[in-house]
Amino acid sequence: MYRQAGGHGGPSRPTSKKEIPNDMTKLVIFDMAGTIIDHGCFAPISAFMQAFASMGVEISVAEARGPMGLHKRDHIQTLLEVPDIASRWETAQGRAWSDDDVQHIYDTFMPLQIKVAREHVDIIPGVLELFETLRNRDIKIAATTGYPRVVADPVWEDLTAAGLAVDFRACSDEVPNGRPAPWLIFKCMQELNVQSVADVVKVGDTMPDVLAGLNAGVRSVAITLTGNDVGLTHDELQALSEDERTEKHDSAKAIFLTGGATDVIRSAGELLQVLGG
């Protein structure tokens, strides 16, 4: 049994910087939206809202963001399990939701997500420079995502053309369960022949990212200001005062540390401070 988002842990235990020396890092695994691209993690939001609206159920931006990091089908089911949303569903549909409804919303969501995802391929500042430094240190780079392959591949075509490339990428529909299960991380390790979890760092902007890292037994680094919880574009974030940005960082940091994150940084560009360089 692995740790579930919002729940209690299984056998895995949190790691600490003392247990994983910085010079041992051989692989860094990044989440995509809110971590290395799509500042503020906007791509999935409108697609979720449109898919629910097609069934007569309005959900807010904050509600749509709530389960971010999960497999997108799991995300939809988690939203339907929220009492207020379930009530709106019953009002609109005249009955309780079912597993068939989850699948129907997911099927509606997918073509919307394919289109919207390619509209949010902005590379977060500092990421290109970070990747170059990691490669110069012979550290492998992988990416995991809650997107299925049909959504992720067109996004990566655009990112590769823009100069962002990874050694391997894994999608949620290629493993038995998406985050917070550890299987995406293990898939990256297997494909890149990294044999010890002590050599791996996982970086993401949601609690399922953190929990996936803990469930895998790797060092789990959380990102605040570019991610889903803060939910601001680069320009919106820069428009805030430094005190306002610090307040948002500290608020998200407290949540991530409570959830077991090994380290918490403002953006991926600060990762070298964690790795020691």
Structure tokens at 267: 């953006």
Instruction: Please state, in angstroms and rounded to a whole number, the distance separating the CA atoms of residues 94 and 47.
Output: 24
Sign of CA dihedral 131, 134, 138, 142: negative
What are the CB-based long-range contacts (under 8 Å, 24+) for 149-152? 149/173, 149/174, 150/110, 150/114, 151/110, 151/113, 151/114, 151/117, 152/32, 152/117
Is 138 annotated as catalytic? no
Q: How far apart are CA 128 and CA 270, in angstroms?
A: 12
Q: Residue 64: name the closest of 56, 55, 78 by CA.
A: 78
Of the residues 72, 187, 202, 253, only one is catalytic, namely: 72
How many Å apart are CA 130 and CA 94, to the nearest integer? 52
Q: Is 72 a catalytic residue?
A: yes
**Inter-axis angle of helices 72-80 and 43-53, nearest 10:** 50
> Of the residues 17, 23, 26, 31, which is catalytic?
31
- In the block, residue with structure tokens 């931006």: 61
d(CA 96, CA 93): 8
Catalytic residue annotation: 31, 72
